[in-house]
A and B are shown apart, each in its own frame.
Chain A
Amino acid sequence: MENRPLEYDYTVAKMFMLTTVLLGAVGMLIGVILASEMAFPGVNTMLGSLGLNEFTNFSRLRPLHTDSVIFGFTLSGIFATWYYVGQRVLKVSMAESKLLMFLGKMHFFLYVLVVAAAVVSLFMGITSSKEYAEFEWPIDIAVVVVWVTWGLGIFGLIGIRRERSLYISIWYYIATFLGIAMLYLFNNMEIPTILATSPAGETGIGAWYHSVSMYSGTNDALVQWWYGHNAVAFGFTVPIVAMIYYFLPKESGQAVYSYKLSLLSFWGLMFVYLWAGGHHLLFSTVPDWMQTMGSVFSVVLILPSWGSAINMLLTMKGEWQQVATSPLIKFMVLASTFYMFSTLEGPIQAIKSVNAIAHFTDWIVGHVHDGTLGWVGFMIMAALFHMAPRVFKRELYSKSLMGTQFWIQTLGVVLYFTSMWIAGITQGMMWRAHDEYGNLAYSFIDTVTALHPYYTIRAVGGLLYLIGFFMFAYNIYKTMTSGRRVEESELQSASPMAA
């Protein structure tokens, strides 16, 4: 009994792998529709002719895109990897505790319910308007329940662990849990309007789900971007770093390059990230000193971000030939590279004089997407590729399909961010251009029509990425259903893949 290796239980991990793939496909598909609507506004009316105008117009779909890729794809990916990585680095199986198993399953089912409610409400236009915090109070409460369920699962598993020392990935998962909990709670403070009483004594007036934000105007903006920026931190950075710290060393068979560097990057990231939210509000009406703090800390943020990224790249030291031979390593190394790229670009945009041009333009959209497509998307897909053979005990269906997917998606990301850079800087410069008499050189619409070619290129880039994602989904599906069965001994480091 004592000598037998632990049998990990991946039931919950598998469930979340499914939603990662499904919600990823949905979210990215909506993204491509939105991109086409911007390049060819006729797409709005085309979809509208089906009688769905109200629900398929750009403005109604936009929060659906952001929320489905953040809270659908990314969050599912985070949960899926947690229920895989958590057991393995803590050296304890979910099967050992009936309670933890129950919590895990409940976590999944509640999550699916919340996703369904969120999709319906956003289509109906029930929104608080705050970016990535659009849900109204009933869904907010449900989100908190889901989150607490996950937290109980995390600390429960940690409580019965055999490995006393917490591995680096666990630090990042704990931080994800705490960070999002704090941010989400404070940003969504609101008073439901059904609590109001009219002077005539009437109660329960109007829509029951409607609410009024606890903060007004400038304060609301400040809290929202403290949230918005750090939701990126604790949704798109911290948990993805957790993944790469586990999956890259595992897949490559290399030890993490430096423990000290990982310490420095972790605590540095935790401290610095939260200050940087102010860079979303440069030249706005929030106090100047906060804007300057946001700007300065954004630049400092390069250090802990690059610390993790360099630590990962140096982990490959002496083993670079794996980048050429394994598409899975390719995904992770490129993800790490995009992470460096994106965390350099962000601070540049946070410099006040650059921000004066970049803010409100597509350059910001480009920045978000080289981070999310290049770093978050690639890392989550790589994690699922690594997990699939171990979870399903089957060989990955096709290595060549993975390779093709890698290049198609890389091309897609490159088209996406280059076109958005040009579009953003073009528009930013056109907005501020004056003629020789000091009048504005362009009307607003001139700065819109000038962007048509770039919007078209972006839509193509997005489409390529989506096609790649479907190839990924197909590859995982075929692995599940018809991959060659493998033994535990084949699963030590590099994942087994059929040509």
Chain B
Amino acid sequence: MFHWLEKHPFFFAVGVFLVIAFAGLVEILPNFAQASQPVVGTKPYTLLEMAGREVYIKNSCNACHSQLIRPFKAETDRYGHYSLSGEYAYDRPFLWGSKRIGPDLHRVGDYRTTDWHENHMKDPAGVVPGSIMPAYAWMFTNLADINTAYADQLTNAEFFNVPYNKPVPMKDGTTLTVPMAKSVAEANAMALEEAKAITADMKDKDVQDMVAAGKIPEIVALIAYLNSLK
């Protein structure tokens, strides 16, 4: 058979393809629908959080920080409850990372504050002596891309039925509705409101001035995202 295949390239290629495609079908498909169901308490990202998530991706934060707490005592002691599949239901793309040059961030919103992030992003080693993380000064001047984040939300709602403007169940038995803007103008106004809530806890004068003038620097969006990780 093999000799015959080696003289018939078409059938050879078909054979190779079948052999390599097999594993993917068996491994990936069976749990696909089930694995994408959210757990109670998981909510879609708000506009500013989404913009912050894009800042996180733009700077490859996931190259050094994981967002996956493994079910070991040492990990739950350090980072909180181990991660659950459904908590990632609205994560497109996933951001688990593959290397912890810095600590895990999956529940960083539980134990770090806006103020801490502000100082840390300006001068990591000043906040954590010995840190090898570089400073991210440009995030204090570059503007967050609210329009793209809005398009991201719209895509999530239109193509993947992510429940914006719909009540989602929370852990305490209540429901919560994450609103989504109806137009680009409304989206920018909504993001600015969210930004004001963040900058109320920030000290940087320039950032506060920018937000007061209607502009949202990347750092504000990033902090909104980090605070949402719980």
Interface residues of A (CB under 8 A from B): 37-38, 41, 44-45, 48, 53-54, 57-60, 62-63, 125-131, 155, 158-159, 164-166, 171, 174-175, 178-179, 182, 186, 191, 193-200, 202, 205-207, 210, 212-213, 215-224, 226, 263, 267, 270-271, 273-275, 277-278, 280, 283-287, 290, 293, 356, 359-362, 364-365, 431-434, 439-440, 444-445, 448-449
Contacts of A283 in B (CB 8 A): 70-72
What's the nearest-Cβ distance from chain B to residue A441, in Å? 9
Q: Is B131 an interface residue (CB 8 A)?
A: yes
Contacts of A286 in B (CB 8 A): 31, 35, 85
Once the chains are docked, how many angstroms separate the CA of A221 from the CA of B88? 10
Selected contact of B103 from candidates A186, A196, A444, CB within 8 Å: A444
11 CB contacts below 8 A, A to B, read A37-B132, A59-B63, A164-B7, A182-B17, A197-B154, A200-B183, A222-B28, A287-B35, A361-B100, A444-B78, A445-B129
Interface residues of B (CB under 8 A from A): 2-3, 6-7, 9, 12-13, 16-17, 19-24, 27-28, 31-32, 35-36, 54, 57-64, 66, 68, 70-75, 77-78, 83-103, 125, 128-138, 142, 145, 147-152, 154-156, 158-160, 181-184, 186-187
A432 touches B72 (CB 8 A): yes
B134 touches A41 (CB 8 A): yes
Q: Given A193-B148, A196-B154, A218-B36, are A226 and B134 also a contact pair (CB < 8 Å)?
A: no
Q: Given A178-B13, A216-B89, A445-B129, are A210 and B7 also a contact pair (CB < 8 Å)?
A: no
A356 touches B16 (CB 8 A): no
Contacts of A155 in B (CB 8 A): 9, 13
Of the listed residues B72, B101, B182, the one surrounded by the most CB atoms of chain A closer than 10 A to its CB is B101
Contacts of A125 in B (CB 8 A): 58-60
Q: Given A182-B21, A198-B184, are A220 and B91 also a contact pair (CB < 8 Å)?
A: yes
B57 touches A129 (CB 8 A): yes
B151 touches A440 (CB 8 A): no
Contacts of B90 in A (CB 8 A): 216-217
- Count of A-B residue pairs with CB < 8 Å: 278
A217 touches B98 (CB 8 A): no
Selected contact of A200 from candidates B95, B98, B145, B182, CB within 8 Å: B182
Once the chains are docked, how many angstroms separate the CA of A129 from the CA of B145? 17
A-B contacts besides A60-B59, A215-B92, 17 pairs, CB < 8 Å: A37-B134, A48-B134, A53-B138, A59-B61, A125-B60, A128-B93, A129-B57, A193-B154, A218-B88, A221-B96, A224-B94, A280-B98, A284-B83, A290-B31, A431-B74, A434-B74, A445-B130
In the complex, the chain B residue whose C-beta lies closest to that of A427 is B100
A127 touches B60 (CB 8 A): yes
Once the chains are docked, how many angstroms separate the CA of A202 from the CA of B17? 43
Of the listed residues A202, A273, A280, A359, the one surrounded by the most CB atoms of chain B closer than 10 A to its CB is A202
B20 touches A202 (CB 8 A): no
Once the chains are docked, how many angstroms separate the CA of A222 from the CA of B32? 9
Once the chains are docked, how many angstroms separate the CA of A23 from the CA of B63? 22
Contacts of A433 in B (CB 8 A): 74
What's the nearest-Cβ distance from chain A to residue B164, in Å? 11
B63 touches A62 (CB 8 A): yes
B64 touches A58 (CB 8 A): yes
Contacts of A271 in B (CB 8 A): 19-20, 22-23
A440 touches B78 (CB 8 A): yes
Once the chains are docked, how many angstroms separate the CA of A171 from the CA of B19? 13
